[in-house]
């Protein structure tokens, strides 16, 4: 057993004092989602936005939309989710991996928050994003990534078991009934792997920001310690394959 493996198992961390820097943590993935998106949107004078899988909870309320927005369309596959969103939004009910020809080339900025892991065919989703974007448009996604331990469990555990487990660990989620089946198709933390796939689809100027750690095991002492130690080590070494969340930014070329 190597030294770092011993320290992970025995001390609860590779170095006791070492913790994930906030900017690298899962909390920053959520904190920085909207500011990062706002910066991207600012580059388009009359931005046409499409939020994929926005469901019942679009990322921007209409009152706080940046001033340069020409339109904001919220998509979801599930009409009952879209029905819970205010009628002032433009709504588009379709499967992001299905036929998107009706909306082809219409958007400057396409974004999603915790959608990708629910999609059965990640590559097809990114191909569709390419179709939906105008030339020079940008896509921005935030998603949980493999191989962070809770998401590996969620991927491989039968849906009824993973739902029960999640609701036990996070009772608020039971109340909101917002556990959707997750497939994690092309939800890898590994930046090189993701970059190659996205380039294969035709996207360019790809940036992937990796985040580490999560709060799913807070109520399970031993597992929490071991997992936290592993996350700390991964963050320290920037082992993106063990990242827990990613911000993915990618552009459709002008020509």
Ligand X SMILES: C[S@@+](CC[C@H](N)C(=O)[O-])C[C@H]1O[C@@H](n2cnc3c(N)ncnc32)[C@H](O)[C@@H]1O
Q: Considering only residues 26, 48, 118, 247, which one is a binding residue for ligand X as defined by CB under 6 A? A: 118
Q: Considering only residues 32, 95, 134, 167, which one is a binding residue for ligand X as defined by CB under 6 A? A: 95
76 lies in the site for ligand X, by CB under 6 A: yes
State which residue, 8 or 100, has the beta carbon closest to ligand X.
Answer: 100
Secondary structure E strands in the chain: 47-52, 69-76, 90-93, 107-113, 133-144, 204-211, 245-251
Beta strands across the sheet bearing 133-144: 90-93, 69-76, 47-52, 107-113, 133-144, 245-251, 204-211
- Cα–Cα nearest to 26, from 119, 205, 150: 150
State which residue, 45 or 79, has the beta carbon closest to ligand X.
Answer: 79
* 62 phi, psi to nearest 5 deg: -60, -35
**What is the closest distance, in whole angstroms, from the C-beta atom of residue 96 to ligand X in the complex?**
4
**What is the closest distance, in whole angstroms, from the C-beta atom of residue 55 to ligand X in the complex?**
3
State which residue, 57 or 224, has the beta carbon closest to ligand X.
Answer: 57
State which residue, 14 or 122, has the beta carbon closest to ligand X.
Answer: 122
Beta bridge partners of 91: 74
- Cα–Cα nearest to 41, from 159, 165, 137, 168: 137
The two structure tokens encoding residue 92: 């588009």
113 lies in the site for ligand X, by CB under 6 A: yes
Q: How far is CA 185 from CA 120, 244, 248, in A?
A: 6, 15, 15
Question: Could you say which DSSP state residue 245 is in?
Answer: E
**What is the closest distance, in whole angstroms, from the C-beta atom of residue 228 to ligand X in the complex?**
24
Residues 47-66 close enough to bind ligand X by CB under 6 A = 53-55, 57
State which residue, 32 or 78, has the beta carbon closest to ligand X.
Answer: 78
State which residue, 176 or 205, has the beta carbon closest to ligand X.
Answer: 176
214 lies in the site for ligand X, by CB under 6 A: no
Q: How far is CA 223 from CA 8, 32, 64, 199, 230, in A?
A: 12, 28, 40, 37, 11
114 lies in the site for ligand X, by CB under 6 A: yes
Residue of this chain nearest to ligand X (CB atom): 55
Q: By three-state DSSP, how is residue 52 classified?
A: strand
Q: Considering only residues 4, 30, 147, 180, which one is a binding residue for ligand X as defined by CB under 6 A? A: 180
Q: Which residues in this chain contact ligand X in the complex, by CB under 6 A?
A: 53-55, 57, 75-78, 81, 95-97, 113-115, 118-119, 180
């Amino acid at each position: 057993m190597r030294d770092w493996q011993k320290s992970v198992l025995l001390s609860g961390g590779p170095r006791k004092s070492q913790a994930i820097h906030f900017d690298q943590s899962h909390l920053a993935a959520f904190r920085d989602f909207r500011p990062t998106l706002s910066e991207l949107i600012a580059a388009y004078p009359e931005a046409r936005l499409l939020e994929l899988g926005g469901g019942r909870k679009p990322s921007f309320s209409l009152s706080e939309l940046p001033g340069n927005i020409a339109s904001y369309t919220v998509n979801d596959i599930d009409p009952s989710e879209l029905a819970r969103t205010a009628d002032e939004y433009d709504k588009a009910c379709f499967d992001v991996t299905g036929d998107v020809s009706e909306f082809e080339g219409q958007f400057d900025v396409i974004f999603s928050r915790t959608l990708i892991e629910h999609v059965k065919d990640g590559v097809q989703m990114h191909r569709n994003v390419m179709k939906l974007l105008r030339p020079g448009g940008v896509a921005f996604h935030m998603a949980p990534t493999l191989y962070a331990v809770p998401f590996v469990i969620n991927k491989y555990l039968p849906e009824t078991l993973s739902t029960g487990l999640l609701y036990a660990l996070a009772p608020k989620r039971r109340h909101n009934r917002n556990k959707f089946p997750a497939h994690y198709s092309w939800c890898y933390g590994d930046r090189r792997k993701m970059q190659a796939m996205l380039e294969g689809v035709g996207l360019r100027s790809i940036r992937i920001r990796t985040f580490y750690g999560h709060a799913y095991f807070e109520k399970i002492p031993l597992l929490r310690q071991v997992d936290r130690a592993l996350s700390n080590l991964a963050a320290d070494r920037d082992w993106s394959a063990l990242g827990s969340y990613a911000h993915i930014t990618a552009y459709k070329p002008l020509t």
